[in-house]
Amino acid sequence: MTISVGDSLPDVTLVKATSEGPEKVSSKDYFAGKKVALFSVPGAFTPTCSAKHLPGFVEKADELKAKGVDEIACTAVNDPFVMQAWKERDGSEAITMLADGNGEMAKALGLTMDGSGFGLGQRGSRWSAVVDDGKVTQLNVEEGGSFEVSSAEHMLGQL
């Protein structure tokens, strides 16, 4: 079953990518007491993710925060070292990278995709959400390989 607006995020362990190394975090603790603009990409360094999705949130970070977002986070079914390297190359300090290395969050949310045809295996799909104190208040799930509703620009219009 796919998560819906009004649902609470499942409590899974994610790994926060930091310059000091990986840091395990409980999603329940991480999302508690704050409004987070969360977006998911099929993979770090992949074409649309690197050319459009992450850069859009980097570019619009100040505008999102001006609309009440406390933190901006990106998740992908990648390891924390890849997520940190991607942040260093294409991201910014305004974006927190949350590695879902085993795909536990993607599975628990019901937002997975099969990237086997591209050698990617099971991944999280492309989506974005506004999460307020652990509860989903906006959810934008992309169809197939499109990139329209999960962008930072679209989210700005929802806030």
Active site residues: 49
Measured distance CA(159)–CA(144) in Å, rounded: 25
17: left (phi over 0), alpha (psi -120 to 50) or beta: beta
Q: If you search the block for the tokens 């997520």, which residue do you land on?
A: 83
| 8 A C-beta contact, residue 49 and residue 17 | no
| 8 A C-beta contact, residue 155 and residue 64 | yes
| 8 A C-beta contact, residue 70 and residue 38 | no
